[in-house]
Amino acid sequence: MRVVYLRNGVERKIKNFYPWIFRDEVKEIVGEEGYIANVFSRNGDFLGRGFFSKSHITVRMLTSKDEEIDEEFFLKRIRKARLKRDFSDDQSFRLVHAEGDFLPGVIVDKYKDGFVVQFRTKGAEALKERIVSAILGTTNASFIYERSDFETSSKEDLERKKGPLYGKTPEVMTIEENSLKFIVDIAHGQKTGFFFDQRKNRKLVRTLPGKSALDLYTYTGGFALNLAASGFDVTGVDKSKDDIEIAKENAKINNLKVDFISSDSFDFLRGTSRKFDVVIADPPSLIKKKSEKKKAISILSQLTNLVKDVLNIGGIFVICSCAYNIDMHALIESMRRGIEGEGLVWNILNITYQDTDHPYIAQIPETLYLKCIWARLEEGW
Ligand SMILES: C[S@@+](CC[C@H](N)C(=O)[O-])C[C@H]1O[C@@H](n2cnc3c(N)ncnc32)[C@H](O)[C@@H]1O
């Protein structure tokens, strides 16, 4: 096991449950073996144990106790995570959200009685067997499937793996959310197959006024189907042809009519002469690093500029960002810039976040990543 000694004062944030120890906060590392490190303050006080990594985040803390990081440890954490989630109507949700559930680098999504896991750090990957045993020990899992084939800019040196870890994974399955059915392609869908973080926002769009709606970046029809279910005439757009095919199937199995189009969102907006009462835009994360924030603001303001041409005055725009580095203020700045000089204003009606199965811990700012601004397009004075 490695031993990590911190610089003076760093212990304070650790004692307040911030889990990341950056390289420049480390005074000395003793030992060269293993993915678990014991962490001590400059004065030699034991602070706890965490995942060790050679990336710029040297340790991701797991516990302040002198306890084994074994199957029993993961079992207790997963049980605790389950108790926090009360989606009584939905059998499918995010069961473990990494740092938000004090399990850095571990994602577990529950698809009915099956589980899709992602290991995002070297430590989590190294202890994969214990984590899988803990999932089996605390649930009646029919299958566990790994989707660690994600894109990242991190220097973690991880293998991009995917495949079955337990049981027989169905090629596709149908889950239910807010009384709507969604087909999920476990092995080929984006991320782990479904974007659970937007659940409550998808439900909220049903309360919006209007007759016609456009769902940009629709994926398999998440917002579009909720809008159609509440009586909107809906168009859904995504550049992924495969996901648009699933979206069309999703409309069919829910007896809903939606016009799903496979296209780049900007191309669609430039090419259409239609007007809508509601426009949703839930783009992919756009940037991975803080240094790219300007680029993201520029893309989002271009998007806003195109959206204002297809949105009726008095219509509602819901713009989301799932990048931690594009905060709420950057998102609002993009909206403001997007209509500058047009004689229009955005009246912000609501700001919403990721659903509660993706916990936002105040002590860990990085756990808040998804935000959506709900604004009405109005004439200025
Ligand atoms: C965060 S997901 C959207 C999730 C969706 N709103 C839901 O509720 O399930 C982002 C989507 O944007 C799509 N996408 C990425 N770039 C695109 C582009 N330039 N034009 C259209 N769609 C794009 C991806 O294929 C992906 O489905």
pLDDT tens-digit readout, 6-52: 999 999 999 999 999 999 999 999 998 889 999 999 999 999 999 99
Asked if the structure places residue 183 within a domain, the reply is: no
* Mean pLDDT confidence for 115-142: 96
d(CA 23, CA 43): 18
Which range marks the domain in which residue 45 is found?
2-63
Ligand 1 pocket mutation pick from 238, 241, 269 by most atoms within 8 angstroms of CB: 238
Q: Which amino acid is at 204?
A: L
Asked if the structure places residue 40 within a domain, the reply is: yes
* Mean pLDDT confidence for 176-184: 96
Termini Cα distance of the chain: 66
Question: Ligand 1 in contact with 250 (CB < 6 A)?
Answer: no
CA distances from 360 to 116, 124, 332 (A): 21, 21, 21
Structural domain total, the chain: 3
Q: Which amino acid is at 17?
A: F
CB 112 within 8 A of CB 91: yes
Same domain assignment for residues 149 and 263: no
Question: Ligand 1 in contact with 34 (CB < 6 A)?
Answer: no
CA of 220 to the centre of ligand 1 (A): 9
CA of 283 to the centre of ligand 1 (A): 5
pLDDT of 125 over the 80 cut = yes
pLDDT for 109: 97
* Mean pLDDT confidence for 343-370: 97
pLDDT of 152 over the 70 cut = no
pLDDT for 342: 96
Same domain assignment for residues 221 and 99: no
Nearest to 225 by CA among 176, 274, 190: 176
Same domain assignment for residues 11 and 153: no
Question: Ligand 1 in contact with 128 (CB < 6 A)?
Answer: no
Mean pLDDT of the chain: 95
Asked if the structure places residue 176 within a domain, the reply is: no
pLDDT for 32: 81
Asked if the structure places residue 181 within a domain, the reply is: no
pLDDT in tens, 60-70: 999 999 999 99
Asked if the structure places residue 184 within a domain, the reply is: no
pLDDT for 33: 84
Asked if the structure places residue 247 within a domain, the reply is: yes
Beta-strand pair 93-97/57-63: unpaired
pLDDT of 217 over the 70 cut = yes
Please give the structure tokens belonging to residue 24: 């420049």
Same domain assignment for residues 243 and 336: yes
Same domain assignment for residues 119 and 251: no
CA of 264 to the centre of ligand 1 (A): 9
Using a 10 angstrom Cβ sphere, with 0-12 exposed, 13-18 middle and 19 or more buried, the burial of residue 108 is buried
Tell which of 14, 37, 63 closes a domain: 63
Q: What angle do CA 239, 240, 246 make, to 5 degrees?
A: 125
Asked if the structure places residue 211 within a domain, the reply is: yes
Question: Ligand 1 in contact with 284 (CB < 6 A)?
Answer: yes
Same domain assignment for residues 297 and 350: yes
* Mean pLDDT confidence for 185-212: 97
Question: Ligand 1 in contact with 197 (CB < 6 A)?
Answer: no
Same domain assignment for residues 51 and 80: no
Same domain assignment for residues 52 and 77: no
In the chain, % of residues over pLDDT 70: 98
Q: Active-site residue numbers?
A: 322
Same domain assignment for residues 86 and 144: yes
Q: 3-state DSSP call for residue 376?
A: strand
Q: How confident is the model at residue 155 (pLDDT cuts 50, 70, 90)?
A: low
DSSP 142: S
Tell which of 26, 45, 63 closes a domain: 63
Question: Ligand 1 in contact with 238 (CB < 6 A)?
Answer: yes
In this structure, what CATH number is given to the domain that contains residue 137?
3.30.750.80
Same domain assignment for residues 117 and 146: yes
Ligand 1 pocket mutation pick from 177, 191, 196, 219 by most atoms within 8 angstroms of CB: 219
In this structure, what CATH number is given to the domain that contains residue 209?
3.40.50.150
Same domain assignment for residues 75 and 49: no
